[in-house]
């Protein structure tokens, strides 16, 4: 008896989860919903869920169907529809092509004999893009287009960029965590059962957020100054915020406020690291003014620094505090003193009740060794 479209897709998923070459994809294959649609011309994903066109699946061999499924799931694996959103807004077709060129080469490498895994006809393949990410491929495609060398062809599938945008912020953060867990689960299964672990899985598992660089980029991004931006290399560090950013080349920015938690649960080592990085931010971004606040249940000290003071900041500063933790004292103090920072960076272990209200300014939370809830507003990075 002939299998239904749904059963064929399920069978293909199972076979991919059993083969040693693709066992590591087991986790990612379980992320999101899989549905069949009579009107979808090929297949489509919004970065979480996948839709397969019924007629298209009927036209594929089992090996091609497995190739198609891997194709959709690699889009999910790399979070293409979130990471490269700005490329889509700049040139939708080139963005689609760029993402496909990258993952199709990877799929081809999994089975060069094409007996178990084969890309359906029409999949974009070009060896000159080997080793590049989608942003780099996009740039080359853009240059070709400007030089009249376009016409690379259509992508294999539909990329539902607008559907990805319909996910709210909580959904996007949950998806990022789910994909990270799926990568680790798949690698663990492959390790235990003798499967192959693609080096890209190892890179994804080993990649850690460089919180110092992320902090510097955040300050540069939200503060208006005399800076310039370069799109020569895409910024990949803002997935959960769904932002595609250029690298910053800044001459100066406005004033910033840094509030360092000096309650009893924060160590002297943590404060020293925070201060050292603050100097790096000052050297990189050159804020017009830095208001440095040390706080516990109240603001215990307020120090002001200007460009000529930054080099000696670590030596001259005098941290004060050591009591409980009440974050609300920071926005209250900023308001009471009439401070006008372009952003606030709060460094804390998060061992506090509430996250303050009435900030009225962009806030980044740097949570040091934090095991508690995520702040209810602002951008959060965690430091182990």
Residue-level pLDDT at 305? 94
pTM of whole model > 0.85? no
Residue 276, pLDDT > 80, answer no
At a CB cut-off of 8 Å and minimum separation 6, what does 260 contact? Answer: 266, 271, 274, 275, 292, 293, 294, 295, 319, 347
Tokens 């760029």 belong to 98
* β 363-368/256-261 pair status: unpaired
Residue 24, pLDDT > 70, answer yes
The residue-averaged pLDDT of 81-105 equals 91
Tell me the average pLDDT of the chain: 83
Residue-level pLDDT at 370? 57
The residue-averaged pLDDT of 300-325 equals 88
Give the closest residue to 135 by CA, choosing from 62, 183, 80: 80
Domain ranges of the chain: 5-206, 211-383
| pLDDT tens digits, 356-368 | 888 888 888 888 7
Token pair recorded at residue 87: 């490329």
The residue-averaged pLDDT of 208-233 equals 58
Residue-level pLDDT at 202? 65
Residue 290, pLDDT > 90, answer yes
CATH number assigned to the domain covering 211-383: 3.40.50
């Amino acid at each position: 008896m002939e299998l239904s479209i749904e059963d064929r897709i399920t069978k293909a998923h199972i076979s991919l989860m059993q083969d040693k070459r693709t066992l590591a994809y087991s986790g990612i294959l379980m992320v999101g919903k899989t549905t069949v649609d009579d009107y979808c011309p090929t297949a489509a994903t919004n970065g979480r869920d996948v839709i397969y066109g019924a007629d298209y699946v009927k036209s594929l061999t089992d090996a091609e169907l497995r190739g198609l499924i891997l194709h959709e799931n690699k889009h999910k694996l790399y979070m293409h529809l979130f990471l490269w959103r700005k490329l889509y807004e700049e040139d939708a077709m080139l963005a689609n092509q760029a993402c496909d060129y990258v993952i199709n080469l990877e799929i081809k490498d999994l089975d060069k004999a094409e007996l178990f895994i084969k890309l359906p006809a029409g999949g974009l393949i070009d060896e000159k893009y080997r080793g590049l990410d989608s942003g780099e491929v996009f740039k080359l495609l853009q240059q070709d287009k400007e030089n009249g060398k376009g016409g690379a062809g259509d992508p294999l599938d539909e990329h539902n960029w607008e559907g990805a945008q319909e996910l709210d912020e909580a959904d996007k953060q949950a998806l990022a965590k789910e994909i990270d867990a799926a990568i680790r689960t798949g690698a663990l299964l492959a390790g235990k059962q003798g499967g192959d672990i693609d080096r890209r899985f190892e890179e994804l598992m080993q990649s850690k957020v460089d919180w110092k660089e992320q902090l510097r980029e955040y300050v540069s991004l939200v503060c208006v100054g005399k800076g310039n931006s370069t799109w020569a290399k895409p910024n990949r560090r803002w997935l959960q915020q769904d932002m595609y950013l250029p690298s910053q080349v800044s001459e100066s920015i406005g004033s910033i406020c840094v509030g360092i938690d000096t309650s009893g649960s924060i160590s002297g080592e943590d404060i020293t690291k925070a201060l050292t990085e603050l100097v790096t931010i000052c050297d990189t971004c050159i804020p017009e003014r830095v208001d440095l606040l040390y706080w516990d249940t109240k603001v215990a000290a307020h120090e002001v620094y200007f460009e000529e003071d930054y080099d000696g900041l670590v030596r001259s500063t005098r941290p004060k505090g050591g009591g409980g933790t009440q974050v609300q004292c920071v926005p209250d103090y900023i308001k009471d003193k009439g401070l006008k920072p372009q952003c606030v960076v709060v460094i804390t272990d998060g061992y506090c009740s509430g996250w303050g209200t009435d900030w009225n300014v962009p806030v980044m939370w740097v949570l040091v060794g934090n095991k508690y809830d995520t702040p209810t507003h602002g951008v959060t990075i965690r430091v182990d």
